[in-house]
Chain A
Amino acid sequence: MTEVSIEKLTKSYGNARAVNAISMKIAEGEFISLLGPSGCGKTTTLKMIAGFEDVTEGAIRFDGQDVVNTPAEKRDIGMVFQNYALFPHMTVEQNLAFGLEMRKVPKPQMRERIAKVLDMVQLKGYEARYPRQLSGGQQQRVALGRALVIEPKILLLDEPLANLDAKLREEMRVFIRDLQRRVGITTVYVTHDQAEAMTMSDRVVVMFGGRIAQIGSPTDIYERPENHEVAEFVGQVNLVQAKVESVGEGTATVTSPLGDFTLPTKISVKPGNMVSLALRPEAIELSKATEGQPAATVLASYYSGALMDYRLKLDNGDELHAQTFPVNRFAEGDRVALHAPAERFWLVGVSK
């Protein structure tokens, strides 16, 4: 197992900085996701770790050893590509054997290791197939097997599920996560899909414009986003106007159409400031309207099986999105009471 540490890693193309002095430590056996929109530098970072991109500045250390000047073929990495990149002229077995041949593993041992990995990726009996004779999901598993059979120091995955259909994608998420846990390999996973990053990772690195916006557990990222950009990227956010009443030690007390709250704040506010309160749609609970409760009118409701989505209108005219289990259903035009616990709110910035 290998620990990876990245220090002030930078990649410039001319004057443009694709990756701008990012630093992070990845613990032994940790599953870390680089999450961000396209062009945020996540793939470039992965390619630098793999050795496919030159590093402009900074260091990449595997167990304390700087690998910046080590060519990709000597870094001992396992990589899974978005398009699988299986060798089309080789059978499944030959694809898996390739890396072992490069390491001059003796034949009997090679056969043993391939059999073990094929078992792991549930492809026993497919040894003689060519990649084109396999489904997308099977090809993906061969690619995983090919990367793992060489028992690399780290496993790198570049949007490996992007080409699969929705249902298979969810299955593969769980599959990859379980496999990674079992093997215990340090893993870096690149994706633009927040659900993927959240369900699979120990920690998520959210990147924007070549910089790290936040590193944290999926819970941190989702429930305690560092800034509004992160919050918006990893899920839906409602914004509610609020007024600062008083300011305490790192906290602020505000009044809003949803009630009065005392919240921790990272931004400096003064009493009288107008601010925005952020709130996830599923943090709102709805019940039949009663006197004295913050209330809203149902504009529209959407049923999606497991969940119910509502578009609500507050009395001050602001719109909210709420997501609940379809237990108590409300119809268009109904008056509903809103309940939201204070710990699910966060302050996002002063508005004039």
Chain B
Amino acid sequence: MSRPFLTGYCLLIYAFLLAPILVVVGASFNAGAFLTFPPQGLSFRWYITFFNNEVFMRAIRTSLWVAFVTMIISGVIGTMAALFHVLHARRSKDVVRIAMLAPLLLPEVLTAISLLFFVYAIGIGTQNMVGMIIGHVLITLPFVFINVSASLESFDPSWDMAARSLGAPKLVRFRRIMLPMIKSGVIGGCLFAFIISFDIFTISFMLKGVGTSTLPIQLFDYLRTNFTPEAAAVSTVSIVLTLTVVIISEKVLGLRIHRF
């Protein structure tokens, strides 16, 4: 293939990926009363409306909180599962992998309905956010597992042996040798967990605690009756939040440091 053709092809793919986002961001600065693109005049009025909308603000706080808790739980369980899978599982290796990836294979709606039955069967119900968080963990777990497994595959067992020969007990070896080497995988997996959890709709829709709402659900509710650019403003804020999380983690925690 010729070079100009390839360049054009790449540009098309980028356009395909980014155009919807640009349209949403553009529409959010709309001065008019309806969600249209191109925007009719520029203004921040819908942002102001959004930030003054207590319902949306509560939803965004709930979403951030749920995403954070989900990230921590998924991060810990997913990392432990990956450690077992790569380092210790022998005959059970394939079974463990398939079991860990199963949530990816099931339609989310099915997972959500089954989980709904489950939380009522064991008496948790949907009075609080426990059921929803279980659902979020379930959906995000495979992403942590895959990321950490991948980074563990490149962990050289002789590093561990070297540390043993130098007199390091098991926990010290984990903390000082293994964890730093798989750090980028763990952080990457946790980021995925956070971002995906922030975005989950179906599970949250079925399992959200009574009287609570996450941002995607609140947005859906809103769009059923309203069609103002406020929805675009909400989406834009959500995009910015996600991007911020990614950029901050990359800068502060240093995903690039450990490339060698």
- Cα distance A177–B212 when bound, in Å? 73
Other-chain contact of B162, A74, A76, A79, A103 (Cβ < 8 Å): A79
Given A89-B181, A89-B258: A73 touches B169 (CB 8 Å cut-off): yes
- Whether A330 is near chain B, meaning CB under 8 Å from some CB there, is no
- CB pair B165 A78 closer than 8 Å: yes
Mark out the residues of chain B between 140 and 175 whose CB falls within 8 Å of any chain A CB in the assembled complex: 156, 158-159, 161-169, 172
- CB pair A79 B161 closer than 8 Å: yes
- CB pair A72 B181 closer than 8 Å: no
Other-chain contact of A150, B156, B159, B166, B181 (Cβ < 8 Å): B166
Give the total of A residues in contact with B, Cβ under 8 Å: 31
Other-chain contact of A99, B159, B161, B166, B258 (Cβ < 8 Å): B166
In the complex, residue of chain A having the shortest beta-carbon distance to the beta carbon of B172: A102
Q: How near does chain A come to B186, taking the closest CB pair, in angstroms?
A: 14
Classify chain B's interface size.
Answer: 10 to 19
- CB pair A87 B165 closer than 8 Å: no
Complex contacts, A147 vs chain B, CB 8 Å: 165
- CB pair A77 B168 closer than 8 Å: no
In the complex, residue of chain B having the shortest beta-carbon distance to the beta carbon of A47: B161
- Cα distance A156–B162 when bound, in Å? 11
Other-chain contact of B161, A76, A78, A81, A89 (Cβ < 8 Å): A81
Given A73-B169, A102-B167, A132-B260: A85 touches B180 (CB 8 Å cut-off): no
- CB pair A98 B164 closer than 8 Å: no
Q: How near does chain B come to A32, taking the closest CB pair, in angstroms?
A: 18
- Whether A113 is near chain B, meaning CB under 8 Å from some CB there, is no
Complex contacts, B166 vs chain A, CB 8 Å: 73, 98-99, 102, 146, 150
- Whether A39 is near chain B, meaning CB under 8 Å from some CB there, is no
Other-chain contact of B158, A77, A81, A132 (Cβ < 8 Å): A81
Q: How near does chain B come to A82, taking the closest CB pair, in angstroms?
A: 8
- Cα distance A76–B166 when bound, in Å? 7
- CB pair A85 B162 closer than 8 Å: yes
- CB pair A150 B162 closer than 8 Å: no
Given A83-B156, A89-B180: A73 touches B164 (CB 8 Å cut-off): yes
Given A73-B169, A102-B172: A87 touches B164 (CB 8 Å cut-off): no
- Whether B31 is near chain A, meaning CB under 8 Å from some CB there, is no
Q: How near does chain B come to A345, taking the closest CB pair, in angstroms?
A: 45
Q: How near does chain B come to A201, taking the closest CB pair, in angstroms?
A: 21
- Whether A52 is near chain B, meaning CB under 8 Å from some CB there, is yes
- CB pair A50 B167 closer than 8 Å: no
- Whether A326 is near chain B, meaning CB under 8 Å from some CB there, is no
- Whether A272 is near chain B, meaning CB under 8 Å from some CB there, is no
Complex contacts, B161 vs chain A, CB 8 Å: 50, 52, 72, 79, 81, 85
- CB pair A73 B260 closer than 8 Å: no
Mark out the residues of chain A between 130 and 146 whose CB falls within 8 Å of any chain B CB in the assembled complex: 130-132, 146
- CB pair B167 A52 closer than 8 Å: no
- Whether A88 is near chain B, meaning CB under 8 Å from some CB there, is yes
- Cα distance A88–B258 when bound, in Å? 8
- Whether B177 is near chain A, meaning CB under 8 Å from some CB there, is yes
- CB pair B158 A73 closer than 8 Å: no
**18 A/B residue pairs, CB under 8 Å, sorted by A:** A51-B164, A72-B164, A73-B167, A73-B169, A74-B167, A79-B161, A81-B161, A82-B158, A83-B156, A83-B158, A87-B162, A87-B177, A88-B181, A88-B258, A98-B176, A102-B168, A146-B166, A150-B166
- Contact residues of A with B, CB < 8 Å? 50-52, 71-79, 81-83, 85-89, 98-99, 102-103, 130-132, 146-147, 150, 156
Other CB < 8 Å A-B pairs besides A87-B162, A99-B166, 18 of them?
Answer: A52-B164, A72-B161, A73-B165, A73-B169, A75-B165, A78-B165, A79-B161, A79-B165, A81-B158, A81-B162, A83-B156, A85-B158, A85-B159, A89-B181, A98-B176, A99-B167, A102-B168, A132-B260
- Contact residues of B with A, CB < 8 Å? 156, 158-159, 161-169, 172, 176-177, 180-181, 258, 260
